[in-house]
Amino acid sequence: MPDRRSQTITRGVQRAPNRAMLRAVGFGDADFEKPIVGVANAYSTITPCNVGLDTLARR
């Protein structure tokens, strides 16, 4: 199994609370073998350069 950064939050005895939280939101045993990817959206109406990100994120 390749070494993934996301495994640092799920591997080992010290990370049991993290796994419990992820199981509570629907993770199963097989999900812990997959990478965990976070997606963020910087949409804001404060500056014009970020206004279009809302539409892009909804695709």
1-56 residue pLDDT tens: 567 788 888 999 999 999 999 999 999 999 998 998 888 888 888 888 888 888 88
Structure confidence at residue 26 (pLDDT):
96
Structure confidence at residue 9 (pLDDT):
87
Structure confidence at residue 38 (pLDDT):
85
- Here the contacts of 44-53 (C-beta below 8 Å, separation 24 or greater) are none
Is this structure's pTM higher than 0.85? no
Q: Where are the domains of the chain?
A: 5-57
